[in-house]
Structure 1
Amino acid sequence: MLGVARRMLGRVDLAEDAVQEALVLVWRRAHQFDESRGSAKGWLYTILRNRCLTMLRSEDREVPTEPQAIDRASEGALVDAAFDRLPSSADLRGCLEGLDEATRRAILSSYVLGHSHGEIAGRLATPLGTVKARIRRGLLKLRECLS
């Protein structure tokens, strides 16, 4: 599946994301598989193909930025400053301190800097699926901690 996605997308990072998203869709929609309509392998590859095509369409709207043009140091400083501005007695600060560094940085980048999951993944050099999972799990932990 990864080889097909690589050929379609031309980028390893996008191919890995497409395969992960396709497998998540397969897991969620397993009940929709109908053996009378075709093989399981065909169904899997159709889902992957559609995921790749969707990614190709959305990629046209994204404008790539050269890595050297991104000032990661100032972004990191903004995220750190936002965290440092929280009073030490604030519940949110205590809950954020309970998260691992990568999860906290991803959540703060999303909420403080307004970055999308894709932008965070690019800036942290982390796969998109990993960033999405970290943010989701981190937000669940924050919700639990703050309630």
Structure 2
Amino acid sequence: MSDTHTLDPQQLRTWLNGAALHDAAAFRSLYDATSAKLFGFALRILGKRELAEEVLQESFVAIWHNAGTYQSHLAAPMTWMTTIVRNKAFDLLRRSDVAAEIDGDPFDAAIMNALHDPAATPIEALELSRDASALAYCMSALEGLHRQVVGLAFFHDLSHSEVAQQMALPIGTVKTWIRRSLEKLKTCLAKGERP
């Protein structure tokens, strides 16, 4: 199993290109090299091994099917794969049956850990933690559907039209909700409100 520090982005790109061509051996090598790190990331978000295992499996299915869409000039291989894992984990969390399994405080801690930058200095980590707490607090003040629209647009990188399609809303409504929600977030963050 490869260590995080020895993952060679060029080798990962080669394996992703192989997976795009349905090369099972290349995909297996990609899995062997990255699955432990991606599992750990999913576990930090979800807090439960069985949920993290489910997300990891779904993520690698998505990686297999979407390897041909990977664009190396837009993101490093691990960044691209981590984004898939993050999106799958958040999709799982949105399901009401899973959300009911996760207590508020451990869930918040897991999200905070997932946002942690391992390369950050202690001061930077503290600032990131404070910023993430403030953002989480201000996001929680938004109305439920508005919060979901903002989350899809900014945490899942969906376009306004993709958000509209996923939420079954008119695109004008999505744009208005996002604009108003961003104004509310800006005001809330400027006030320095904290939980």
TM-score normalised by length of structure 2: 0.31
The structure, 1 or 2, with the larger RCO (C-alpha pairs under 8 Å, 6+ apart) is 1
TM-score (norm 1): 0.41
